[in-house]
């Protein structure tokens, strides 16, 4: 199947180190719902990371659930990258 023919998937994660043991799925969808998740993220200035394989794995999780241990490394690498983007843009979260 060509890339354009694939159904778009989007998963939004949230991680609050004071409340969560691991990142948590806060939104997940395919097709039009995925487009809405992506649009909302862009409008809110939330970084978007494109990874088809990871999105497929995360899309299988229930909204509200923490990511499984098996995905910690992949998600941690993305969070580190996003944190470095925020630091370089002067958004330290303070």
Band of pLDDT at residue 5, cut at 50, 70 and 90: low
Q: How many CA atoms lie within 13 A of 13 on its CB side?
A: 28
**DSSP string over 32-43:** HHHHHHHHHHHH
Spatial distance between the Cα atoms of 26 and 23, rounded to a whole number of angstroms = 9
Spatial distance between the Cα atoms of 23 and 20, rounded to a whole number of angstroms = 7
Tens-digit pLDDT profile for residues 74-86:
998 888 888 887 7
List residues bridging with 24 in a β-sheet: 14, 66
Q: Would you state the pLDDT for residue 1?
A: 46
- Whether the Cβ atoms of residue 31 and residue 7 lie closer than 8 Å to each other: yes
**Domains (range + CATH), the chain:** 3-88 (3.40.1690.10)
């Amino acid at each position: 199947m060509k890339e354009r023919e694939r159904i778009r998937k989007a998963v939004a994660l949230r991680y609050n180190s004071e409340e969560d043991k691991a990142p948590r799925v806060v939104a997940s969808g395919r097709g039009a719902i995925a487009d809405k998740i992506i649009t909302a993220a862009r409008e809110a200035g939330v970084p978007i990371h494109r990874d088809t394989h990871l999105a497929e794995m995360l899309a299988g999780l229930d909204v509200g659930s923490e990511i499984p241990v098996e995905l910690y490394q992949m998600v941690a690498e993305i969070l580190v990258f996003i944190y470095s983007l925020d630091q370089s843009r002067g958004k330290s979260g303070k």
